[in-house]
Structure 1
Amino acid sequence: MQFLSIAFKVTNYTALLGWLVLFSFPLWPAYGRTLLLSLIVAFLCLAYCYTVFLGKRHDVPGEPPRGGFFSLRGVISLFKTPRVVLGGWIHFLAFDLMVGLFIATDAASRGISHWLLLPALFLTLMYGPAGLLLYLAMRLVFGGDVGGIGLI
């Protein structure tokens, strides 16, 4: 359990560093920003893969993960295991950060002011999909995108 607690702290602080880069996006040179965010996301992905695929030795003895992904009850049962909860948390950290990176780079390519993005980035950090939804609405208003969602 000690390893899982340390991994939780390390991945949280690493993701927070990535969010600080995103919030201060225009202040960073493009190359340094891209390199640092790429390294952070890659680290989170590696931590996720280790936790989920190789981290079984960190399970509580005699309490292997039970449950599955095909019913709500199965997911609730699965997430009673500390290692699975950590894996799920790292999944959130990595994907929300990638959504934040998408928002920042897409807005920059459309000429949307970074200052307007700060509420959407904060909402993405805290509530993932709600922040993306806010950004997509902002993009309709400020970015002139009237051809549907057009994520790419």
Structure 2
Amino acid sequence: MVYEKLFSLASIAMPFWFLLILLPTWRATRFLANIAIFPMYLAALYIVGIITAIAGSGFGFVQDFGSAEGVIRLLSKPDFALLVWLHLLCFDQMVGHYVYRDNMEHRYVPLPVQSILLFLILMFGPLGLLCYFVLRRIRKQSKLSL
């Protein structure tokens, strides 16, 4: 029940993705990104969830991280699966903030490309981050060769 409530509360951060993707230059978007309220909010929800998990069953679940079977066993538990989902949402949001803030400051990629990359981060996390790093590296190298 606690984890379902945390999951519901996490959805509040979703509209911020739309701001980052669709309205990157809007003053409210820049303000919210600069104070990083949504990654901190998701991190706080995750902390509540992980403390609840530890209080309920101790640190025993950590031993399951060492094998594929253990991870599958953990993820088969609905409460733990929701906690892991919250963990992913939080990290994706932090990565999205990083890419947004870094690109808005340095303009390694045009804003439409930034929006595509942020969508990739939202949907596929590491894929979007890797694409951003590759494009940023190409842009930096092209500036050096000029």
TM over 0.5: yes
Residue 115 (structure 1) shift: 1.5
Which structure shows the bigger proportion of residues in helix conformation? 2
Number of the residue aligned with 1:68: 64
Which ranges in structure 2 are unaligned for 5 or more consecutive residues? 142-146
Quickly say closer, same or farther: Cα 1:140–1:77, change in 2 above 3 A: same
Number of aligned pairs? 137
Report the residue type matching 2:47 in the other structure: C
Residue aligning to 1:5: 4
Residue type of the alignment partner of 1:73: E
Q: 1:40 aligns with which of 38, 41, 59?
A: 38
1:110 is aligned to 2:106: yes
1:17 has 2:53 as partner: no
The 3-state SS of whatever aligns with 2:65 is coil
Q: Kindly state the Cα deviation for residue 145 of structure 1 after the two structures are TM-superposed.
A: 2.1
1:121 to 118, 121, 125: 118
Partner of 2:140: helix, strand, or coil? coil
**Where do 1:52-67 residues align within 5 Å?**
52-55=50-53
> Could you say which residue in structure 2 is the equivalent of 1:94?
90
Contact (CA 8 Å) 1:65, 1:81: kept in 2 or not? no
**Root-mean-square deviation (Å):** 2.5
Taking structure 2 as the reference length, what is the TM-score of the superposition?
0.79
CA contact (8 A) 1:104 1:114 kept: no
Unaligned runs of 5+ in 1: 147-152
Deviation larger for 121-130 or 107-116: 107-116
Distance in structure 1 (CA, Å) of the matches to 2:62 and 2:110: 47
Q: Partner amino acid for 2:90?
A: A
TM-score by length of 1: 0.77
The one of 136, 140, 143 equivalent to 1:145 is 140
Q: Is the 8 A contact 1:15 1:93 kept in 2?
A: no
Tell me the equivalent position of 1:150.
none
Percent of residue pairs identical: 26
If asked which structure has higher relative contact order (CA below 8 Å, sep 6+), I would say: 2
Deviation at 1:42, TM superposition (A): 1.5
